[in-house]
Chains A and B, each alone.
Chain A
Amino acid sequence: MKEMIYQTVCPGCNIGCGLYIRESEEGALVVDFMKSSSANLGKLCRFGMKLPHYYSKATNVVDGKEADIKTAVKAASDKLKGAKNVAMLAVGATTNEEHLAFTKIADALGTVVNTGIGAYEEIPSECHPSISQGIPLDDIEKAGRIALFIDPYVQYPLLVRRLLAAKKNGATIVSVGCRDLNLADENLSINPADYKTELGLDSNSIIIADVHPHTDPEQVKNLLNLSLMTGAKIIFMKPFVDSTGVHLFGKGVGQKGLQEIMDGINDGSIKTLVTLNSDLLELMPNTDEAAKTLEKLDNLVVITSRDSPVNKLANIVIATESLYAKAGSFMNVEGQVLNNSGESTVGIDAMSILSKNLGGEAFDFHAIHDKMMKSVVQKFTAPKYSKLECKVMETAAPAENGGNLISVYNPFMWCDQPDDNDFVIVNMKMVDKLGLQKGSMIALTSDAGSVNVRYTVRDIPDGLILTMKKLPVVTGNSTVVKAEAV
C-alpha cells in the first residue's frame, strides 16, 4: 500500500487555499484539509471539496489521434515553426514556473502571452500592481468598514469567514449588488456616481471587488477612483489561482482580453492559438459560439493538465501532469508565494523542448524557479498593501446592455464543473407574474437560443434573473432574455 500525499493549492480562485491531495496506488484522489495553511486554515468551499473532478487527466493528441508526449511536442514544433498570426493565452490556472516557461515560447515566436483580462489595457499601467496584488487577507478582519462589490457566498466563499470575523471585530459591511447578502449590514443598489457619497468609506475601509476576463474596465476605474478619493484600501479578487503571478511575469503591454482574441480569430488576424491551461470553451459565456469560432483556426495547440472540452477541438494536445503533482509555485491575491510539494516537471520539460525547437532557449525547472524567485518575488516577501500610484481617472458609466439575466461568475462557471447549481434565481414577484408552480421549470429565450431551467426564489430586485451556471442562452455578463412558465 503506497499512498502519495501532495501539498497543493486550490485552483478555484486566487485566494490560494492550501490543501492535501491523497493519491492511492490506483490513482483515486481524495481531498484532505491542510489546517496549517494561513490563507484558509484548511477550510475549502464547494469547489475545493470537488477538486478530484477538476483534476481529470488529459491525454496527448496529435490530429485527433492519441500520441505520446514526445510526438505531440514534435508535432507542435512543426506546426508553430514560422507560424504567422499567432496568439498565446494563459489565464493563470497553472504554476508561476509553467507560465514563465510559456513566455519563453512566446519570445521564441516573437509574440506575447495574453492573460485574458482585457480590462488591464484600458487602465493606466501605474494602477496595475494594485489590481494584481491586493491586501493581506488578515487585514480584512481588522477593517472598520467594508464595501463589497462581489457576492462572497457564491464567488469567493473563503472570504465569508473573513467578513464574519471583521463583523465580530466591529466592522460594518455594505454590499453593492443585486442580491441581498446575509452578512451585510446594508445592501444597496446604487450607481457608480453615488459610490463616494453613499458608501461612507474612509482610510480605515476596504473595498472588495473582482476582475475577471469579462469585467467592464469602466467599473474597475470607478472603483479605483473610489479608493483614491476616500483613501480606502482596495482588493481585486480574481478567478484563477495564479492570476497575480501571470500578471507579474507578463509583458503587461499589448494584452488582449478573451473577447478580443475571439474577435481576432473571427476576423482572421489570429490563425494559430496556443493555450496553457486555459479553455476558451469554459471561459466564454456562450460555449457553442466559442466552439464555432475556434473551428476557424488553422492551428489550435493546447498545453494542459486537464481533460477539458477544448481538448476535443485542438489539433495538438500536450498533456502535462495534474496541477497538484507539478513542481512549482503560485502567487495568491495577497502576493504570497505558495509552493506545491510535487516534484514533477513534465510540463516544463515539454515546453523547454518546444522552445528549443522553435529557436528559443532551453531551460529546466530549477533555472526557471530561481529566476522567478530572484526577479519578482523579492518584492513580495511579506504581503503588504501598496498604496495606489495613480490619479483619479475619467470614467464613463459601465456599459449597459439592459440584460435581465445576470451571470454570477464563480469557479463552477469558469470550469464548467458538475454541481448542484442548475437553476436560476428569481424573486417572488416574478413567480407570481409568470404563474410559476412549485417544482415547475422556467423557459428562457434569447438571441442565442432557449432553455428550460429550474428556479429558486430569493429576495432580488424585480425583473432580474441570476444564474450561477453557464446557460446556452447567455451571451455576456448580462443577457436580454424572455422568461415564461413552462
Chain B
Amino acid sequence: MTEREWTPKIVAFCCNWCSYGGADTAGMGRFQQPASTRVIRVMCSGRIDPLHVFNAFLEGADAVLVTGCHIGDCHYVNGNEKTQVKYQFLEEMLQQLGLEPDRLHLNWISASEGERFANFINEVTAKVKELGPSPLKPAGVR
C-alpha cells in the first residue's frame, strides 16, 4: 500500500430534521466533498452532549462539527438554543485546554442547503489539513 496523503477525520453531528437533510442534499447534488467525514445523526442538536464531542476527539477525530436547524426552525421549539448555550461553554473549555479553535465548529444548516453543507465541510477540511492531526488523537489511530 502506498502512503496516501493524510486527510483529516471529521465527525459531523447532524440533526435529523435540518442538517442531516443538508448533508443528504449535498450528496444528491453531487457537490464535491472529502470522503473522510463521518456523519452522526441525532434527533436534535440539543441532544449533543459535550461528552459526545470529547469522545469524538479522544477517539481520534481531527475536527468535530455541531450542526442543527437555524435558530427559530427547531423541530422541538428551542432545542438548538440549548445547543447554543452548551456550545459556548464547550468552546471556551476546549480553547482553554489548548485545542485549536478551527477543530470545533457550530453551524446551522437547513435541509435544502446542500451546497452550504459541502462548502462548510471543504472549508473545515482545508483548515484542519494545515493544522495536522489532532493532539488528542490516540496512538495507533490514523
Contact = CB atoms under 8 A, between A and B. Distances in A.
Any A–B CB pair closer than 8 Å: yes
Interface of A: 428, 431, 457
Contacts, number: 5
Nearest to B140: A428
Nearest to B138: A457
Binding site of A, secondary structure by majority: helix, strand, loop or mixed? Answer: helix
B85 interface: no
5 contacts: A428-B139, A428-B140, A431-B140, A457-B139, A457-B140
B94 to A, nearest CB: 24
A457 B140 CA distance: 9
Nearest to A457: B140
Interface in B73-107: none
Contacts of A431: 140
Contacts of A457: 139-140
A457 B138 CA distance: 10
A431 B139 CA distance: 12
Contacts of B140: 428, 431, 457
Contacts of B139: 428, 457
A457 B139 CA distance: 9
Nearest to A438: B59
A304 B5 CA distance: 65
A428 B139 CA distance: 9
A428 B140 CA distance: 7
B9 to A, nearest CB: 14
Interface string B127-142: 0000000000001100
Nearest to A432: B140
A425 B140 CA distance: 15
A22 B61 CA distance: 45
A105 B17 CA distance: 77
Contacts of A428: 139-140
B38 to A, nearest CB: 14
Nearest to B59: A438
A432 to B, nearest CB: 9
B125 to A, nearest CB: 24
B60 to A, nearest CB: 10
A25 to B, nearest CB: 38
A169 B139 CA distance: 32
A431 B141 CA distance: 12
A431 B140 CA distance: 10
A23 to B, nearest CB: 36
